Structure 1
Amino acid sequence: MDDITFGFLDTVTKEELRPRILIEGLPGIGHVGKLVAEHMIQELGAVKVGVIESVFFPPQVIIEENGTVRLANNELFYYPDGERGILFLVGDFQSTSAEGHYFLSDAYLDIAQELGVERIYTLGGYGVGHLVEEPRVLAAVNHDSLREEVENAGGTFGRDEPGGGIVGAAGLLLGMGAQRGMEGICLMGETSGYLVDPKSAASLLRVLTGLLGMEIDPTQLQQRGAEMEHMLQKLIEGERITEGDELRYFV
């Protein structure tokens, strides 16, 4: 097996793919970016057009609902949005090594550049370690000229946030993309980082669709966010009851 393998599917011909935009939503903190990208794919009816496999993914297979297994992979989906088609990069994993992050990001950019991508949006979560009532959407860009556009859409540029920079594909695609002349915007939804966070994803979706000038129904993400909040509230109340019982026992 090669270090990285990629193949186009026969769902569309390569000549039909004319993306000007790449949206990356690989797994990360709170799965915020993954939730947004997969929600958009579902709502838009984007078509799977490519599969990427790599030795840089964890050494495991994925068990499907029917009990069969497949190699872990990442996938490309395409939505023909007029003259500016959109390519989505989603999947099972990011790299397990620092070296792999660079090689995989380079491969993603090779594919994007070959297809004509001009702008990259990378999506992720910004973990703050506590529950957030109104999640901000923090942003970073690889060209200063993009700042005003992002701010007008509701993105925030926080001073020294995130403090450790942007790790993984979300950051490397911007930095390495700039070397290839591609515009890049990273959007990070504020999240506790403890659980899958559809509420943060809904906030990020609003900013991203504002930048794209699109309307995507956020209902499903909002409902999942409300369900998650309800579950968290029950957990918190359960902990309070347990603490009360322990206090009565010792008193």
Structure 2
Amino acid sequence: MRDSYWKIMQFGKIPRLDKPVLIEGLPGIGNVGKVAVDFLIDELGAKKLYEITSYTFPHSVFVNEDNLVELPVVEVFYKKLGKRDILLLGGDVQPIDEISSYEFSEKILDIVEKFHGTEVVTLGGIGLSDIPKKPRVYCTGNSKKIINKYKSSMVSNNLYGVVGPIVGVSGLLLGLASRRNIEAISFLAETYGHPMYLGIKGAKEILKVLDKNLNLNIDINKLDREIKDIESELIKKTEQLTEVTKQIALKKFQKKFGRDVDYIG
């Protein structure tokens, strides 16, 4: 593994966490996962634990409100909840090629193992040709046990044939976690598959599922009140880099499969 390509900065002391669940929400179709995880970080008052930068991230910088530049980063936060703690993985970008995606996912799973985590939850969107009135949430995972644990009337497990490959970190974390005997599940919400569309409705449906299963006690309605701020931040900061990541992944998969591929993540 190209360790020199990755810079992981620790913030504060290493906390003692009780079998934490990792929840991943990086940019993807509709930014569904990113919206959900960013909301959880703010709503729960999660503390920053790691900041990750890499030579494999898109070769761009952001210009912030102070007219200064910022490198794209991925961050890990934590929140102690009493019965079971959580790790939250969010950020500006995903790695832009296959090797980097594998390396990044392995490093994240190293962190999960470091804190004796036993579950990984990834979040993403399923791109549709029209805006869904009430987005459905689907799930898939690396074991029937974890699917049965989280499956409910709010979630459908009938995903086979609905979508193509799960591209990027959201998919790789599931597959690689099974090699480490870590159970992993992905929640995928329907959203409009347009690069300018922000999947707030899909994110809300996923948050309802997480709130019910993990007893987060969050006020999901706050998401509606924060839409303008969320839209402004995401459009300015992540739209261009997300599109770069998505197009590179799509082109490579289309070459391999010789057909159109749904991007999920």
In structure 2, what is the equivalent of residue 235 of structure 1? Answer: none
**Corresponding residue for 1:201?**
203
RMSD of Structure 2 on Structure 1 (CA): 2.1
Q: TM-score, normalised by structure 2?
A: 0.80
Q: 1:105 is aligned with what amino acid?
A: S
**Aligned in 2, Cα 1:156/1:46: closer, same or farther, shift over 3 Å?**
same
The equivalent residue for 2:223 is 221
Alpha carbons of structure 1 residues 61 and 190: separation in structure 2 relative to 1, 3 Å = same
Range with greater deviation from structure 2 (80-89 or 30-39): 80-89
Match of 2:211, SS?
A: helix
SS in 2 for 1:38: helix
- Residue pair 2:124, 2:170 contacting (<8 A) in 1 also: yes
TM-aligned CA deviation for residue 114 of structure 1: 1.1
Q: Residue 131 and residue 144 in structure 1: after superposition, are their counterparts in 2 closer, same or farther (change >3 A)?
A: same
Secondary structure at 1:145 match in 2? helix
Q: Which residue of 1 aligns with 2:14?
A: 14
Identify if the C-alpha distance between structure 1 residues 226 and 149 changes in structure 2 by more than 3 Å, giving closer, same or farther. Answer: farther
Match of 1:31 in 2: 31
- With over 3 angstroms needed to count, the CA separation of the structure-2 counterparts of 1:18 and 1:61, relative to structure 1, is farther
The residue number in structure 1 matching 2:145 is: 145
Measured in 2, the distance between the counterparts of 1:132 and 1:124 equals 15
TM score, norm. by length of structure 1: 0.84
Specify the SS of the correspondent of 1:14. Answer: coil
Q: Deviation of residue 93 (structure 1)?
A: 0.3
Higher RCO (CA-CA < 8 Å; seq separation 6+):
2
Residues 199, 225 of structure 1: 8 Å contact kept: no
CA distance in 1, matches of 2:225, 2:162: 28
Deviation at 1:152, TM superposition (A): 2.0
Number of residues of Structure 1 aligned to a counterpart in Structure 2: 226
Going from structure 1 to structure 2, the CA distance change for 1:18 and 1:66 (only over 3 Å counts) comes to farther
1:46 equivalent in structure 2: 46
Deviations 1:214-249 (A, max 9, x none): 321111323467999xxxxxxxxxxxxxxxxxxxxx
User: How far apart in 2 are the matches of 1:148 and 1:162?
Assistant: 19
Of residues 1-10 and 90-99 in structure 1, the stretch that sits farther from structure 2 once superposed is 1-10
Give the letter aligned to residue 206 of structure 2: L
Structure 2 runs not aligned, ≥5 long:
231-265
The one-letter amino acid of 1:47's match is K
Aligned partner of 1:133 in structure 2 is: 133
Unpaired runs of 5+ residues, structure 1, are 229-251
Offset at residue 70 of structure 1 (A): 2.1
Amino acid at match of 2:143: H
Q: Residue 153 and residue 42 in structure 1: after superposition, are their counterparts in 2 closer, same or farther (change >3 A)?
A: farther
Q: Please report how far the alpha carbon of residue 153 of structure 1 lies from its aligned counterpart in structure 2 after TM superposition.
A: 6.0
Matched, 1:120 2:123: no
1:159 to partner: Cα distance: 4.2
Measure the CA separation in 2 of the matches of 1:161 and 1:224.
Answer: 35
Maintained 8 Å contact 1:132/1:192: yes
After superposition, the C-alpha distances for 1:138-174 in whole angstroms (9 at most, x for unaligned) are: 1101111122222226211124244312111111101
- Aligned partners of 2:204 and 2:186: how far apart in 1? 16
**Residue 199 of structure 1 contacts residue 226 of structure 1 at CA under 8 Å; is this kept in 2?**
no
Contact 2:138–2:159 (CA under 8 A) maintained in structure 1: no
Q: Distance in 1 between matches of 2:63 and 2:32?
A: 23
State the alpha-carbon separation in 1 of the partners of residues 139 and 228 from structure 2. 25
After alignment, is 98-107 or 217-226 more displaced? 217-226
| AA of the residue aligned to 2:217 | E
Listed as ranges, the matches of 1:1-251 within 5 Å are 2-10=4-12, 13-18=13-18, 20-152=20-152, 154-194=154-194, 195-223=197-225
Three-state SS of the structure 1 residue aligned to 2:86 is strand
Q: Which structure would you say has the larger Rg?
A: 1
Distance 2:229 2:45 in 1: 25
